[in-house]
Chain A
Amino acid sequence: MVTCKDFLRELSDYLDETTDPATRAELERHVSECPNCWVVCDTTRKTIQVYKGMEAQPISDCIHTKLMEAIEKKAAESGHSGCCNGNHES
């Protein structure tokens, strides 16, 4: 018998679909019979979804330029060639 505590403990694996089939079947049965766990499961799934849907904001050109300048400076110091030689063996 899966209790609510058991269900919560397994919730992450359940949502990530990494539980073994037998455990999964038991958890599915519990969540279909227990309104509390159904809500917690549903809202946790939505929590993950909204974060996954969050796009990385473009960073400002200024930050990008500063970063590339720092790298080119470092390259010049260490004697790396600044331009592309374009030939690589495969």
Chain B
Amino acid sequence: MEGEPIEPVGVPEALSAEVLTVERAKQGDVAAFGELVTRYERRVYRMARQITQNDEDAEDVLQETFLKAFEHINSFQGQSKFYTWVTRIAVNESLMKLRKRKSDRTVSLDENIETDEEPIVREIAVWDDTPEQKYSQEEMRAILNKAIDGLKPIFRTVFILRDVEELSTEETAEVLGLSIAAVKSRLLRARLQLREKLTRVFKRKGDQILGYAK
């Protein structure tokens, strides 16, 4: 066996099957494109919902994203994964919605945030052992969504791509047109802000609260 190329298994196999589906879709096969829609629509919808914080907008984004993907599928080069490509479209559509709805300056992703500013840590408390068992799935979802909704779009979007959609730092940078360093600093701040919010909900009651000396 040594020296022989080993056939990759698992995910790479699924990916190469996807390459064929994408090829068929490129040749105008609507059924093949439908397979891609079915595979990714939930994730696109969830992402759009989390960025726009609005069901109606999320539905629009879902539709516009896949229509654009269908229309422009021939410009998809296959250097990135199909999902990364669709994600980029979906993120742009979501941010556009957000800008329209709020005419909000804070929506800009390249906004010059003070990255040197120290990340904030106030609540330092151990969590209950199993919050997942204490709350129903519905309650959990509501708690997590509420916490995410409280973040600024620049932090929210990076966190969603990295930690919910599990894109790599490089893919996230590519999708958002940000530098790797910018993705990393936003991710750290987003994670710490969410940690702060969730700690208020999940902390073990009755513990002595710790704290950093000022």
Q: Considering residues A35, A44, A53, A78, which has the most beta carbons from chain B within 10 angstroms of its beta carbon?
A: A44
Contacts of A13 in B (CB 8 A): 184
Contacts of A63 in B (CB 8 A): 45, 59, 62
| Count of CB-CB pairs between chains A and B under 8 Å | 134
Known: A13-B184, A84-B24, A88-B24. A74 touches B45 (CB 8 A): no
Known: A70-B67, A71-B66. A47 touches B23 (CB 8 A): no
Please tell me which one of the listed residues B28, B66, B144, B199 contacts residue A67 in the complex, with CB atoms under 8 A apart: B66
Which residues of chain A in 29-81 are interfacial with respect to chain B, using CB atoms and an 8 Å cutoff?
35-36, 39-40, 42-44, 46-48, 50-54, 56-59, 63-64, 66-68, 70-72, 74-75, 78, 80-81
A11, B188: Cβ atoms closer than 8 Å: yes
Which residues of chain B in 62-95 are interfacial with respect to chain A, using CB atoms and an 8 Å cutoff?
62-63, 66-67, 70-71
Q: How many Å lie between the Cα of A6 and that of B162 in the bound state? A: 22
User: B178: CB under 8 A from chain A?
Assistant: no
User: B195: CB under 8 A from chain A?
Assistant: yes
Spot the interface stretch: B1-9, B29-37, B96-104, B105-113: B29-37
Contacts of B31 in A (CB 8 A): 83-84
Give the number of chain B interface residues (Cβ < 8 Å). Answer: 56
Q: How many Å lie between the Cα of A16 and that of B191 in the bound state? A: 12
Known: A8-B118, A59-B45, A66-B63. A50 touches B191 (CB 8 A): no
Q: How many Å lie between the Cα of A87 and that of B32 in the bound state? A: 12
Contacts of B159 in A (CB 8 A): 51
B121, A8: Cβ atoms closer than 8 Å: yes
Contacts of B198 in A (CB 8 A): 43, 46-47, 50
A sample of 19 inter-chain contacts (CB < 8 A) reads A8-B118, A8-B119, A9-B119, A15-B191, A16-B169, A36-B211, A39-B125, A43-B199, A44-B195, A47-B194, A47-B198, A52-B164, A54-B144, A57-B141, A64-B41, A67-B41, A71-B37, A71-B67, A85-B27
Where the two chains meet, the residues of A that have a C-beta atom closer than 8 Å to any C-beta of B are: 4-5, 8-9, 11-13, 15-16, 18, 35-36, 39-40, 42-44, 46-48, 50-54, 56-59, 63-64, 66-68, 70-72, 74-75, 78, 80-85, 88
